[in-house]
Amino acid sequence: MHTLHRRTLLAALLAAPFAARSQRLEKVTVAGWSKPITEVTPLLVDADKGFYRAQGIDLAFVPGAGGGDAIRNILSGQADVAFTDPGSFFAALDKGEPLRAIYDIYPQNVFNVVSLKSSGITQASQLKGKKIGVYSLASGTRQALQVLLHGAGLSESDVTVVVTGVLNFAPLMQGQVDATAATDTGLLVGRRRGLPEVNVLEVGKVLPASSDLFVVREAVFQSRRDALQRFLRGYRDAAAWMIAQPQEAAQLAVKRAIDGTDPALNLEIIQLRNAASVSALTQRQGLGAIDVDALQRAADTYRALGLVQQRLDMRKVTSPDLLPGRRGEPG
């Protein structure tokens, strides 16, 4: 009996590593452009919903202050995937960084420049000589401002750029800046916090292109294709869930997002992000489909702006290979 017990125990000990190995998750770290806020709920709820664990992925999130931060965090090896804006992607490519975009998170352009009604600023040309807030010098808001100015025949040297912090309309309300570059969710939060009547210049009317992409280093793309594909399946399923169940997502954001204390505000933010996640192309090809032609037009605009020096060929630095397709997408 004693010998049998020892054999059973030995068999169990030998089997344990194999059992653990079969259940082991592969870690994928996402570098965000922001802190863990409501609008990135699909990256925050795996403990509740298990979208990534179902794909064998242990998801981690590294916060940042702008898309440039997200790129730096993948270049330094602190993360595998950057949640970044196209402008930051273009700037890194222009410096010779070997990067690849693998998923279009928000095919809609969500950037704007906001001023108080009392300022009388209704056209981009009227921004000349004004102080304009941006989230950070490494953020998409700064590049969106540059695009808007370019469309009006102006450049950044025609205005004074002031760093105000993420989702921060206080400097505008206090008269420290004449206008501020923001996102649709930033404007929504500002209005909830007492922002008076405003004029909104939509950058998407000047440049209808993606707001955010998942970007990886080429070496990671080549060496971790399977893990990246499973991560994208998890994200696609999480984004599809948020589209289908916005109320549940808003409730979970209360628990998981640092700015998620108000479920009603969470719901409004989530609905804006859901709208930004879909396009005519995603309806045909599935969430995450990259409009390479629109991205090319954006890259060419950035070159015309002088923000990048080289002509960037988007067909060489985008890849649909890992996209999960239509499975799980509502509609």
The arrangement of secondary structure in 25-108+210-317, i.e. its CATH architecture, is 3-Layer(aba) Sandwich (3.40)
Q: What are residue 220's phi and psi, to 5 degrees?
A: -70, -40
Mean pLDDT of 131-156: 91
Domain assignments of the chain as residue spans, ordered by start: 25-108+210-317, 111-205
Residue 153: both structure tokens together: 């025949």
pLDDT tens readout for residues 81-113: 999 999 999 999 999 999 999 999 999 999 999
Residue 94: both structure tokens together: 């222009």
Asked whether the domain spanning 111-205 has the same topology as the one spanning 25-108+210-317, the reply is: yes
111-205 classified as CATH 3.40.50.300: no
pLDDT tens readout for residues 287-323: 999 999 999 999 999 998 888 999 999 999 999 999 9
Q: What is the per-residue pLDDT for 4?
A: 40
The string of DSSP letters for 217-275 reads: EHHHHHH-HHHHHHHHHHHHHHHHHHHH-HHHHHHHHHHH-TT---HHHHHHHHHHHHH
Q: What is the per-residue pLDDT for 19?
A: 36
Q: What is the per-residue pLDDT for 287?
A: 97
pLDDT tens readout for residues 233-254: 999 999 999 999 999 999 999 9
| CA distances, 154 to each of 22, 60, 151, 162 (Å) | 58, 41, 7, 17
